[in-house]
Amino acid sequence: MAAPTVFITGAAAGIGRATALTFARHGYRVGAYDIDLGGLGTLRTEITDHGGDVEIGRLDVTDPEEWAARLAEFTGPSGKLDVLVNNAGVLTTGAFADVALAAHRQMVDINFSGALIGLHTAFPYLRETPHAQVVNMCSASAIYGQPELATYSATKFALRALTEALELEWRRYGIRVLAMWPLFVKTAMTDGVHTGSTKSLGVNLKPEDVAAAVYSATHTGRGRLPKVHYPVGRQTSVFAAISQVTPNWVQRLITKTVTRS
């Protein structure tokens, strides 16, 4: 039997790298893609040194042509794509008006448009692969809009909506679409981040925590109404649960308190 396949964006470091290592340890053929070729090179060495199978390549997720080329290279004649992990993302924090417009647009382009392009381009491969799955890296910031993270939060809200829509739309093709919801993770993305919410809640998750959650979520039974959203960590689980049973004004008050706004 051919090994199952996973295609991961933003794989050179952080959550993407940990996810690539996790799937490789479980026998997956891994496609690891990023604009950081140096980081991908060391990842390839780490995986192959342990007997794993990995392909790497440059992928700017905002470029449809690069998406098409990398997916075609990775899937080859079989066209097989078992799992797509849309992980690539960037973060700029601060008061909305103080953040440069270019930084706002970059977050939209990479965090949301990059995933959208990937989903659109990967669809033919996913459709032809039995029981294919998509994992979109969402965020606890998609529960309620976050001060000092306004545009980042907005991109995750958009990704949440896209996940929910495609989970329903693509069910007819046997494609499962789900979203992971971590809070702050100890990666380069959060280095030097000092917001009201990081001061209140801390940065407690490790990339390996999220990677383990991704692998677990893609290996659960589907059932008639499969789970769509997966909070990662105790804090996110609590906030997500509260959001399901409280009115909007309570969520607003909690957010105001946590972010010290």
- 184 three-class SS: coil
Report the distance separating Cα 248 and Cα 229, nearest Å: 19
Say what the pTM is. Answer: 0.94
5-258 domain in CATH 3.40.47.10?
no
Tens of pLDDT, residue by residue over 173-229, are 999 999 999 998 989 888 888 888 888 888 889 999 999 999 999 998 776 778 999
Tens of pLDDT, residue by residue over 75-94, are 999 999 999 999 999 999 99
Report the distance separating Cα 21 and Cα 261, nearest Å: 39
Tens of pLDDT, residue by residue over 131-166, are 999 999 999 999 999 999 999 999 999 999 999 999
Q: Are 8 and 32 in contact (CB under 8 A)?
A: yes
Residue 150, CB-side half-sphere exposure with 13 Å CA sphere = 14
